[in-house]
Amino acid sequence: MAGELSGKRALVTGASSGIGRAAAETFAREGATVAVHGRSAERLAATLGAIEKAGGNAFPVTADMRERAAIKAMCADALDKLGGIDIIVNSAGVCTLTPMVETEEAMWDETLDINLTACFLVSKHTMPAMIAQGSGRMIYISSISGKEAEANSCAYNASKGGLILFGKCLAREVGPKGVTVNSICPGWIDTKMAGELHEQFAAEQSRPYDDVFDESMRMNMMNVIQSPQDIADMALFLASDKGKHVTGQAINVCAGMSTV
């Protein structure tokens, strides 16, 4: 398959749905061999099926992103089967919104473990391969919430804000070694996670779900509902030769939501 990523080797975490799935399918379509990560092989069946149907090349790797040993083993599996690594998209994530005083310690730990610590561990276990070959692209899926103060979102915003700064610090370390590191910061994206959160909002407001979803999702300068493909397209740019000199950035892809 010829394309912008022809011959490249990629790992995409959280690839069973949403942004991760869109990135995995896009990368495969553009010629990369993709290790698609999910919590289980069963959860990855739809992603792998879509890639295979389109003529792409992909295989599953699994790990619970709360388990440190499992993340290390998953990275080793991906590196072994890919024969190295050129691109990583860290997309696995969770979001639970609740007032700080009602946030259980277990919820805080899970949010930070999956959204931040797992990204550190994936980077730690794969970055040596990128440094050794003198090239690589590390991409984190953060959020515009990582740059803003929002009520009832302390754990999520802290994890995404930490991820942005982690990426900037890492970019300074590995830039001279030929590796770029960037974060993409979406606003609301039409994913399963967004749907579940809007079910919560609708219940809290005693309003119809469809009304709340449409109103909230379009709360941006362009009055549009963004899809996971919007984020995958930015990931493709950063992973391709076109993004070779973009590093240390946290790029908003939010249809202007961050300024509304």
pLDDT digits (tens, 9 = 90+) for 99-125: 999 999 999 999 999 999 999 999 999
Residues of the chain with CATH 3.40.50.720: 9-188+227-252
Distance CA 245, CA 128 (A): 20
Quick check: 129 and 79 in contact, CB under 8 A? yes
Using a pLDDT cut of 90, give the percent of the chain over it.
Answer: 99
| Mean pLDDT value of segment 186-191 | 98
Residue pLDDT, tens place only, 29-52: 999 999 999 999 999 999 999 999
Q: In what order do the strands lie in the sheet with 179-186?
A: 57-62, 33-38, 9-12, 87-90, 136-141, 179-186, 250-253
Q: Which residue has the tokens 């974060």?
A: 183
CATH topology of domain 9-188+227-252: Rossmann fold (3.40.50)
Burial of 209 (0-12, 13-18, 19+ CB in 10 A): middle
DSSP state of 94: -
- Give pTM, 2 decimals: 0.97
Distance CA 35, CA 75 (A): 10
Distance CA 88, CA 62 (A): 15
Distance CA 257, CA 204 (A): 23
Catalytic residue list? 156
How high does pLDDT run on average in the chain? 97
Helix (H, G, I), strand (E, B) or coil at 186: strand
Distance CA 214, CA 44 (A): 29
Tokens of 72: 């290390």
Per-residue pLDDT for 181 more than 70?
A: yes
Q: Which residue has the tokens 């994206």?
A: 189
At residue 2 the predicted structure's pLDDT band, cuts being 50, 70 and 90, is: low
**How many C-beta atoms surround the C-beta of residue 60 within 10 A?**
21
Quick check: 137 and 88 in contact, CB under 8 A? yes
